[in-house]
Structure 1
Amino acid sequence: MKKIVTILGARPQFVKAAVLSRVILKYKAIKEVIVHTGQHYDANMSDIFFEEMNIPKPTYNLAINGLNHGAMTGQMLQKIEEVLLIEKPDVVVVYGDTNSTLAGALAAKKLDIKVVHIEAGLRSFNMKMPEEINRILTDRISDLLICPTDTAVENLTKEGFLTMPSKVVKSGDIMKDAVAFYSETSSEKSDIISTLNLQHNKFVLATIHRQENTDDIENLKAIFEALAHINKDKRVIVPLHPRTKSILEKQHLNFAVEIIDPIGYFDMLELLQHCNLVVTDSGGLQKEAFFNKKHCIVAREETEWVELVSNGFAKIAGAHKNTIISAYNEFQQTVTNFEMNLFGEHVGEKIYKEIIEIV
């Protein structure tokens, strides 16, 4: 039986990989071995997380985290290579733009193993972002580039990929399959709406985690000042990473918003389904807002998901207090039809068929 090794490091990647894993188990034509690098480890990445989400547990957990980019990527490259030499897969599958993504692709390519990059072709055109560097380098050495959007395909075309010995395919966004699948049971597995006593459409969900915002105190202040202003109109719920919370505390910054601990995937789905809109610097959450028919204010200067902005589902506001508030006020007066099919259907099945052809 042919074998693939899937390299994962961050929780969003596990959620996306669950879609493809279900298809693989359905057809039973190939064997999947999952490697968790440990890049983003938290309590929600325990056995319960995998059981609740019906995700196959990793065969290997490399436990590499808490390091600077170079040390982390280097250790991952070494350990993943060791796994690949043991498993001898036909294909290595990587997702997105983390250090785990790049390390997995590099390890495979140096061993002459085919690389599949899911979420290929995305570009922010901001080379200060570690994620941009990871995705560009991973794309360049991948054999099968699975693109979520037409824009992603266009980016690769402009970069000359159609003349390279690789295959570029538009599949749609695999996260759409995940949201559709897990939304059906999120209300059974989460009580966050009742616990926080939230009313439907009466609160705003905000997440801030990117280095450009958390490490720049002026940016952080401007964003939270905007959120505090919005909180006067609607409750603002902010699931906040401990590191960002620590920065606020060290700077003696206290804002009138409701900061809560990081939450699990089902809690996040429930908040997305019930909120009024989303303010975020996360790429994934921009799409999840759209999948849940919610407007999104992007607290960055650019986005990889340009279709959301060009079609009026999202607005780029950066870390600018007045721009964020203005976008919020405008969206309160906006009625939008979210039925546009920007990200495809049955994406996991499409990706599986492409992988089968190169295994």
Structure 2
Amino acid sequence: MATVPVMAPVQAPGLSGELYLYCQKRVRYCTAFADEIMTPAKTEDTSTPLRETRGLLFGLCGVAGFSATLPATRVAVAHLDPLLVGLGRSVVAGILAALLLWATRQPFPQRSQFKSLALAAACVIVGFPLLSSWAMVNLPAAHAAIMIGVIPLLTAAASALRSGERPSTGFWLTGLAGAALIIGYAFAGGAAHMQLADAALLGAALVVAVGYAEGGRLAQSLGGWQTICWALVLAAPFLVLPVLYAGLRHGLAAPLQSWLGFAYVAVVSQLLAFFLWYQGLALGGVARVSQVQLLQPFMTLGVAALLLGEPVTPSMLAFAVAVAAVVGIGRRMPIYTPEKHP
């Protein structure tokens, strides 16, 4: 994609020369940053330190965008129907994605890619938004941050199984330990049994892990931002009627903060954060860059505390650290390819 030209700085009337030059420089930086996101990364060399560093930075920015998803959803569903929030965000993002694909004249995916696109769309565009939106009606965002902390390990498992690899016994043991921690945290939350909302979050973590794995695999041939855009365009037409039904049945009356929360999950969580995330994976490699997702529960806890005033207790931090440690250990366990496994 060609870089958008930036006009040479000219002294603007009424503005300080230094301030004008500073603004021009910032525009150049932002233009270069956006151009790098939109340009598909070449995958033949992901081992250089510079590419790894850039990949980690893009991945970290993507995770930062994802980390506010649950708090923003919590704000949105306080006054809007969960079905409207969960599926409506994908309709809005799908419209933006269609405009972007049209403006950049992207070629249609190949027929062989539509099956993977459909699976990714079902998981990250329908399954996770719908399940998490429903769960956030009944659960604090800080609680939910711990519940989905096992996503990186589930993503690794889904990716390994999808490619025909065989995870080691140690990998599955750490996975079971992580699941036990999550379930234990749900019980420790004060209920004598897991709530349906907890089960919905676990289901959301599972489906989004499958979507990440399938989308990451497809992005190698289709491109990172193109993958999420085409998945949105594929899914959006099927979501319009349910969204209209939810809007007509429950109404659209809601305070500004609820609509701001909806706007965030539609534009950032469902679209822009995916641009950064997939570009980071392509630049730095999936195995290395995906590690930064371990920071997401802690970022979400911080956002929930700052924006929603939700308490972050020592037990929450302890469970978050324990889950991150188990996931980190699990990612180091060997996964055998078919030719290497006895």
With the length of structure 1 as denominator, give the TM-score of the two structures: 0.27
Q: Which has the higher strand share?
A: 1
Q: Which structure would you say has the larger RCO, counting Cα contacts within 8 Å and 6 or more residues apart?
A: 2
Q: Which has the higher helix share?
A: 2
With the length of structure 2 as denominator, give the TM-score of the two structures: 0.27
